[in-house]
Amino acid sequence: MKINDRISVWGLRVTADTFEVTDVKTEEEAAQVAALASKYFAHQQQLVASKALSAPEDEAFFPPVFLADAIYEYILSIRVRQETSEDKTPEKSLRMMQSTLNDLSSRVGNIYVHQLTDQLVLTKWREPRRLEVADSTVKRDLSFIRGFSEWCAEKGRNYLAKPIEVTLTVKKNTTVHYNYFLKGEMEKMINHLFQVRKPWHFWCMLIAIYTGARAGEIGGIRIEFFETLHGIETVYIPGTKTEPSKRRIPIHPDLLEIGLLEYVARRKEKKAEMIFPIKKSPTNGWGAAPSKWFSNLKTNIFKFPEDTVFHSFRPTIVDVMKQALVNAELRCQYVGHEFDDSEHIDTYSRNKIRLETVKKVLEHIDYSKYYEDFSIDIQALKVKAKELLKEV
């Protein structure tokens, strides 16, 4: 049994002899969760009753449990323990865990749990996943998979012969500009913009270059997020992590000159809701398509180092501002980082910095001053942008 993927928030209130489903929107959703909960509790009773009749330890017996069913049972077991205070897994971590395990099931197929092997996780999940996100994220998600496999291999459950042992060592780079875009890499990306055929590829990269926004943030921008406030052209960036990541920022003059608002207007004419014609992934959200596209570019076209990924736009633009002496609080507000000088900000800066002030940051986001002997041909990009309007 598999709960509808759209049911992302639900709870369980457990007592000594019963349970109640909470925090669901409809009776149909409640029924789906309750059915799975009933299945879980029934299975636990079967395990207790069958202990005396269990097979000898040297006899391999694996219940025919599908991977997707085991995943939901596992998540449910954590929620049950949360209700009894036996498990203190944060809700955010639990959601990331469920997303990772659902992604694993999607990639390897809904096999029986006992068919899950290290080699399968390595070839079908770990390596393809590394083309989409940073290794640090893959390393974190592997810990979720190993934790699930340990649960599956517990004596008495016996879904899996032994826990998955696949790991990933994230190499630390001691160079000053770790994960930054160097001048040659930025030149390759700018030059590639003149070769693209899809408007969203063109604008996705340019927005990343001038905002440092995350792939999921850029992919999740809606047409309605563009707004003129106090005479300033702005865009709301829908954060994907912390509360500070949700921000409204002024649009860089270069983006305006190249024709971003003309592109947005054309999308609006087409009755589009989102800035880009991409689909939201059930596991990786709006960042899936941009990340996959950029990963293919960096590997097959640009030949960038392994640790240079879409996320590299962020440390690059932060350093551009830092080298131009933009203060830390302004840098954090522009890119959506939490300002960690908590004592100072709580005492002296209770409100967000005004748009008029943030706009002054834009004059310091100038790659021609950041890289030596480098420039972006804004007028040539403007011509390319007009050509791509025909494809919108």
Helix, strand, coil percent values for the chain (each to nearest 5): 55, 5, 40
Q: What is the CATH number of domain 183-391?
A: 1.10.443
pLDDT at 202: 97
Which strand (E) or helix (H) includes residue 247?
A: strand 247-250
Alpha carbons 222 and 200: distance in angstroms, whole number: 13
* Confidence category of residue 105, pLDDT binned at 50, 70, 90: very high
Question: How many beta carbons lie within 10 A of that of residue 132, not counting itself?
Answer: 24
Domain ranges of the chain: 11-152, 183-391
- Per the prediction, the chain carries an average pLDDT of 83
Alpha carbons 164 and 168: distance in angstroms, whole number: 13
Helix (H, G, I), strand (E, B) or coil at 361: helix
Average pLDDT over residues 194-212: 96
* pLDDT tens per residue across span 246-287: 899 999 999 999 999 999 999 999 999 999 999 988 777 899
pLDDT at 56: 40
* pLDDT tens per residue across span 42-86: 655 555 454 433 444 444 568 889 999 999 999 998 888 877 776
Yes or no: say if 223 and 336 are a contact pair by the CB < 8 Å rule.
no
Specify which residues 248 forms β-bridges with: 236
pLDDT at 19 over 80: no
Least confident stretch, 25-29, 107-111, 326-330: 25-29
pLDDT at 239: 72
Closest C-alpha among 111, 171, 101, 170 to residue 141? 101
Q: Crossing angle for the helix pair 67-83 and 27-50, nearest 10 degrees?
A: 90
pTM: 0.56
* pLDDT tens per residue across span 111-128: 999 999 999 999 999 998
Alpha carbons 272 and 266: distance in angstroms, whole number: 9
Structure tokens belonging to residue 361: 């940051």
Question: How many beta carbons lie within 10 A of that of residue 22, not counting itself?
Answer: 12
